[in-house]
Chains A and B, each alone.
Chain A
Amino acid sequence: MPPTLPKIGLLKGLGVTLKTMLTPATTQQYPHVKPDLPPRTRGVIALMEENCTVCMLCARECPDWCIYIDSHKETVPPKEEGARARTRNVLDRFAIDFALCMYCGICIEVCPFDALFWSPEFEYSTYSLRELTHEKERLRAWMDTVPAPPELEIGAELPKEISDGLAAARKAAEAEAAQTVQAEQAATGAPAKAAGGKAAAAEEDIHVEAEVDQEVFDQLIAEGKSERVARAKAKAAFVRREKARIRAEREGS
């Protein structure tokens, strides 16, 4: 390539470096300033020993086989007279060898009893490789550093525990509202506004002894359903009919 004299490009580069020099550096001076780690950071694994039932799923699923678990079985005397003696797993040793650990998180994911958690702590370097195997006391101590999980993004599906709990709470609130309305209605004698709530409240009071509705039963048998299924559906139909009848009577009166 023929040699060319330098042009403006070189000066632009000089401008960039000068500008960067005059703005404060983005460096965080680590030992004096700790990094601001998000809650999901995979720093160290913490063990809630009380939750562990020694099911060994974590040790089995670990790709590196770095979890060492020892346990023994104990018999627990029965609570009542004549009941069977129960056996219980007792955890003797739970150790994670962080020299082998890949920090993949599979053990935490598979634990069915929420005994393992991630913690953002990362400052556990040692001078000896053996000290990198944390025993259960140390793992239990890491639990103090486990942060709460972050809120999920807008549009995410709620976790099952939360959505179930929300549904149950909603139902309880509706029952509460219906009961107050019913109480008001009883006190003031005003016509029921929340008919649905009232019906729901009323439905709770109706008890019908289940009997087989013969018509429905015969019809289902003729359709080819099995006797067990036909009997169940016939009973359900009977109960429904009876409840409707009693409800209509109550509303009528």
Chain B
Amino acid sequence: MESIFTLDSLALGIALKVVLIAGFFLTAPLVVGYIEHKGLAHMQDRLGPMEAGRFHGIGQLPADGVKFLQKEDIIPAAADKWVFSLAPGVALVPAMVILAVVPFGPGVWAENLDTGLFFALAVSSVSVIGILMAAWSSANKYSLMGGIRAAAQLIAYELPLVLAAAAIVLQAGTLSLVGIVEAQFAFTAFGVPVPYAVPHVIGLGLFFTAALAELSRPPFDMPIADSEIIFGHMTEYTGIRYAFFMLAEYAGMVVLSALAAVLFLGGWYVWPGLAYPDAWPTALTAVVGFSVTFGKIVALTFIMIWFRATFPRLREDQLLRMSWLIMIPLALLNIVVIAIAKVVG
């Protein structure tokens, strides 16, 4: 199936897709951010933003964005200027690029790459470099410590992420994200149509945990532990650069949740086997499919926020031990089991 945004003119079509991706990229983190403010607040028995934007603080995040835009641009004197300035971009852009291959609904995607999943996982590793650039160029011991922790953690948790996704690829038989959704639509376990989350429940757990660690979200937020190293690699960043890092974090949450929804939760179908009626116009199925996907994304980000409210952070060595000694063996075992099941069943 082709993307519904393909226009006759190639250039216009690309321009449209870029605009849509940029628009989604800038607004979805606002939704997630708002849920975080209010959800976290209510979990802590308080109200969260209430004044900005008149109605229960919906204007808080846009107001924050405007605030960051008008702040003074401060670069520490001892910092490496170019690396310092580019680091937020390097951390941010990969998230936007991944959005080009993630399918949000029937036809609602920018490009259906045959190696979509491979592309997504490869590009997501690039943001690690942004973090290391920020840490080193800040000329601050706290940033350096945060960067070292980040380096160890992010590299360690790439593997469970990739291996869990690899099991899905085994199951679906294709690297294309759209193909995976379609394969999932047709999937049945013992005659019952279920999303891949059911046989791959361990894989989902591994993917989700690894995603939390990749994003440095609690309980894996050692690199930015604010009670120890102030804010890790982001300590010296202010203003719009800081806003970019935060945007990268929330956009990363959205992107990884989108990937999880596509890989494990059935993508844009409400449930495997339940097709959208052919009588519906493409626009309607597109909107409904997009809403379903977005709903799954919101649910997953809510769980991320729930974890943030509840759990203290793991110490760095415990975190790494968990990855190397528990998660990677589990992920390998997962692949083996799935492979056997695929061959047998």
List the interface of chain A (C-beta within 8 A of B).
1, 3, 5, 10, 13-14, 16-18, 20-21, 23, 25-27, 29
Q: Which of A18, A26, A29 contacts B45 (CB 8 A)?
A: A26
Complex alpha-carbon distance, A250 and B321, angstroms: 108
Q: Contact between B43 and A21 (Cβ–Cβ < 8 Å)?
A: yes
Complex alpha-carbon distance, A46 and B39, angstroms: 44
Complex alpha-carbon distance, A27 and B306, angstroms: 20
Q: Which of A1, A13, A23, A29 contacts B50 (CB 8 A)?
A: A29
Residue of A nearest to B219 (CB): A10
Complex alpha-carbon distance, A23 and B42, angstroms: 8
Complex alpha-carbon distance, A10 and B303, angstroms: 13
User: B41 an interface residue at 8 Å Cβ cutoff?
Assistant: yes
Closest CB in chain B relative to A6 CB, distance in Å? 10
Closest CB in chain A relative to B318 CB, distance in Å? 7
Complex alpha-carbon distance, A222 and B311, angstroms: 92
Q: Contact between B45 and A20 (Cβ–Cβ < 8 Å)?
A: yes
Given contacts A3-B318, A16-B310, A29-B50, 5 further A-B contacts (CB under 8 A): A1-B318, A13-B310, A20-B45, A21-B39, A27-B46
Residue of A nearest to B319 (CB): A3
Complex alpha-carbon distance, A14 and B39, angstroms: 13
7 cross-chain pairs, A with B, having the tightest CB-CB distances, nearest first: A17-B43, A21-B42, A13-B310, A21-B43, A27-B47, A3-B321, A17-B310
When distances are taken between beta carbons in the complex, the residues of chain A under 8 Å from B43 are 17-18, 20-21
List, sorted by A's number, 28 A–B pairs whose CB atoms are closer than 8 Å. Answer: A1-B318, A3-B318, A3-B321, A3-B322, A5-B326, A10-B311, A14-B307, A14-B310, A16-B310, A17-B43, A18-B43, A18-B306, A20-B43, A20-B44, A20-B45, A21-B39, A21-B43, A25-B41, A25-B42, A25-B45, A25-B46, A25-B47, A26-B46, A27-B45, A27-B46, A27-B47, A29-B47, A29-B50
Q: Which of B309, B318, B321, B322 contacts A17 (CB 8 A)?
A: B309
Closest CB in chain A relative to B303 CB, distance in Å? 9
Complex alpha-carbon distance, A18 and B44, angstroms: 10
Complex alpha-carbon distance, A10 and B205, angstroms: 15
Q: Which of A5, A17, A23 contacts B306 (CB 8 A)?
A: A17
Chain B binding surface, main DSSP class? helix
Residue of B nearest to A26 (CB): B45
When distances are taken between beta carbons in the complex, the residues of chain A under 8 Å from B325 are 3
When distances are taken between beta carbons in the complex, the residues of chain B under 8 Å from A16 are 310
Interface residues of B in 299-326 (CB under 8 A from A): 306-307, 309-311, 318, 321-322, 325-326
Q: Contact between B42 and A20 (Cβ–Cβ < 8 Å)?
A: yes
Among A1, A3, A16, A23, the most chain B Cβ lie within 10 Å of the Cβ of A3
Complex alpha-carbon distance, A21 and B305, angstroms: 12
Q: Mark B35-57, 1 if CB is under 8 A from A, else 0.
A: 00001011111110010000000
Complex alpha-carbon distance, A26 and B321, angstroms: 40
When distances are taken between beta carbons in the complex, the residues of chain B under 8 Å from A23 are 45
Residue of A nearest to B41 (CB): A25
Q: Contact between B41 and A14 (Cβ–Cβ < 8 Å)?
A: no
Residue of A nearest to B42 (CB): A21
Complex alpha-carbon distance, A154 and B309, angstroms: 44
Complex alpha-carbon distance, A223 and B41, angstroms: 86
When distances are taken between beta carbons in the complex, the residues of chain B under 8 Å from A5 are 326
Residue of B nearest to A3 (CB): B321
Closest CB in chain A relative to B302 CB, distance in Å? 10
Complex alpha-carbon distance, A10 and B47, angstroms: 25
Complex alpha-carbon distance, A25 and B42, angstroms: 6
When distances are taken between beta carbons in the complex, the residues of chain A under 8 Å from B41 are 25
When distances are taken between beta carbons in the complex, the residues of chain B under 8 Å from A1 are 318
When distances are taken between beta carbons in the complex, the residues of chain B under 8 Å from A10 are 310-311
When distances are taken between beta carbons in the complex, the residues of chain A under 8 Å from B50 are 29
Residue of A nearest to B48 (CB): A25
Given A1-B318, A3-B318, A13-B311 contact (CB < 8 Å): yes
Q: Contact between A3 and B47 (Cβ–Cβ < 8 Å)?
A: no
Residue of A nearest to B44 (CB): A20
When distances are taken between beta carbons in the complex, the residues of chain A under 8 Å from B321 are 3
Complex alpha-carbon distance, A13 and B309, angstroms: 9
Complex alpha-carbon distance, A1 and B325, angstroms: 13
Complex alpha-carbon distance, A3 and B42, angstroms: 32
Complex alpha-carbon distance, A97 and B186, angstroms: 79
When distances are taken between beta carbons in the complex, the residues of chain A under 8 Å from B318 are 1, 3
Complex alpha-carbon distance, A27 and B42, angstroms: 10
Complex alpha-carbon distance, A1 and B44, angstroms: 31
Complex alpha-carbon distance, A33 and B195, angstroms: 49
Given A1-B318, A3-B325, A29-B50, A14-B44 contact (CB < 8 Å): no
Closest CB in chain A relative to B146 CB, distance in Å? 23
Q: Contact between A14 and B45 (Cβ–Cβ < 8 Å)?
A: no
When distances are taken between beta carbons in the complex, the residues of chain B under 8 Å from A13 are 310-311
Complex alpha-carbon distance, A20 and B47, angstroms: 12
Complex alpha-carbon distance, A23 and B50, angstroms: 17
Q: Mark B12-51, 1 if CB is under 8 A from A, else 0.
A: 0000000000000000000000000001011111110010
Complex alpha-carbon distance, A29 and B311, angstroms: 28
When distances are taken between beta carbons in the complex, the residues of chain A under 8 Å from B47 are 25, 27, 29
Residue of A nearest to B312 (CB): A13
